[in-house]
Amino acid sequence: MYINGEWRAAKSGKRFDSLNPATGDVIDSVPDGGAGDALDAIAAADAAFAGWAGRTAYERSAILYKAWSLMIERKAELAKLMTTEQGKPLRAAENETQYAADFLLWYAEEAKRVYGETIPGPRGDQRFIIFKAPVGVVAAVTPWNYPISMLTRKLAPALAAGCTVVLKPAEATSLCAIAVFKILEEAGVPKGVVNLVTALDPKPIGDVFTSDPRVRKITFTGSTAVGKLLAGKAGQNLKRISMELGGHAPFIVWQDADPTHAAKGASLVKFLNTGQACISPNRMFVHKDAAAAFTEELTGRVEKLRAGNGLEKGVGIGPLVNEAAVAKVERQVEDARAKGARVMCGGHRLLDNGLDRGHFYAATVLADVTPDMLIYREETFGPVAAIVPFDDDDDVMAMANDTAYGLAAYVYTNNLAKALRTVEGLDFAIIGVNDINPTSAAAPFGGMKSSGLGREGGHEGIEEYLESKTAGFSI
């Protein structure tokens, strides 16, 4: 663990293994921290806060620029580690490492653009000046599915704003977090400003984060259930929160769209990271006139996806994170099959050619999915494309919005008016119009409804780590 500028063991002396999900092999072990380690990290961050907040924006910016440069230099090394520990194909890991570096670069620039404002007072002798100040100590919890970019998406704006941070990474991808913190250390982040606590059991760490008064903000990316739990506990102590939670993205293919083009996009975004992404499309609503062509094209593309160890050339789909993830996918597919869905390809666990050592499920396409099926209601987080035919525009908008989630959605149409009306009518915060990658370090990312609170990325991302201070002057 990295606490107060030093690499150290857990107070308990315990460690836990990090496993390769493609092979089941042990990669390495990491410290198994507990509440005492989290308290040490918070104390270090609290002690370092005044000094870090007091540095100029230009000084903080220079360190973030250095971290960006180091991450770009080590892109191949980081990607290989990510593929080994998380499982995604190497090319996808390289893309994520670039995305992670983008946040360091963006907030190196945004650090120098934290602006206040002046406001005229109602009295002739009164003036208001609004200052922006860092929130304070930030506790961050990050997920396993994007184990490097989700770190920088939180760390970069927090550091740019002048906050100090204690981070608890997902237990499945602690080695990726350690690699990022080594970069921050080498970039010159002062001791105590960033702190890393690894732990197999996240609950004691979360309890400390939500109860310690020195922690002024909690930022979390993960499941909606855990996010609600953390938000509730944080709310009891009036801590600021930002939550990026689950999704259940609709993918709408209107009648005028090119079904072949839409199917190509669907195959790329649905099976990215083996479907283990909060913005992954879960329900593909395809107009009945386009459904046959869309299904044929999508199935043909998915059948060509090769599953395996992401370090092997030609592999397009990696393992799921664990056995529970495989069981969830199996349950949804079998439920859909029993209720009348057609399995166009896949639909089973992969056990041949050594894949039984890992957590592999075949890339699957289900046709004729209906609202009574589990996959229509539950987030899958796996490699299953569920196609729902429709023939009424109003009905499909109602179906798309019929979910507690509100993170991402996708729309395919060649009609500009149709696109605008669809964007306006969807209760989702991120919408790709003929675009399967509507994300960037420069754009806000976050959800509505049960998909979260707050935004990460863009100029809005740094505001999550700033307080407004109003000064009234009588002159």
Domains of the chain and any CATH numbers: 2-245+451-474 (3.40.605.10), 249-440 (3.40.309.10)
Nearest to 233 by CA among 222, 218, 246, 245: 218
* Catalytic residue ranges: 244, 278
Q: Are 387 and 286 in contact (CB under 8 A)?
A: yes
- What is the per-residue pLDDT for 247? 96
pLDDT value for 93: 98
∠ CA(74), CA(144), CA(427), 5° rounding? Answer: 115
Written as six digits, the tokens of 463 are: 């505001």
Please tell me the number of Cα atoms within 13 Å of 250 on its side-chain side. 29
How far apart CA 382 and CA 348 sit, in angstroms, is 12
* Mean pLDDT, 10 residues at a time, the chain of 475 residues: 98 98 97 98 98 98 98 98 98 98 98 96 96 98 98 98 98 98 98 98 97 98 96 96 97 98 98 97 97 98 97 96 97 98 98 96 98 97 98 96 97 98 98 97 97 96 97 96
| pLDDT reported for residue 214 | 98
427, 402 Cβ separation under 8 angstroms: no
pLDDT of res. 25: 97
Give the C-alpha separation, 254 to 221, whole Å: 32
Phi-psi category of residue 308: left, alpha or beta, with phi > 0 → left and psi -120 to 50 → alpha? left
Quote the pLDDT of residue 230: 96
CA–CA separation, 162 and 135 (whole Å): 8
pTM for the model: 0.96
For residues 342 and 184, give the distance between their C-alpha atoms in angstroms, rounded to a whole number.
50
Tokens 């969830």: give the residue.
328
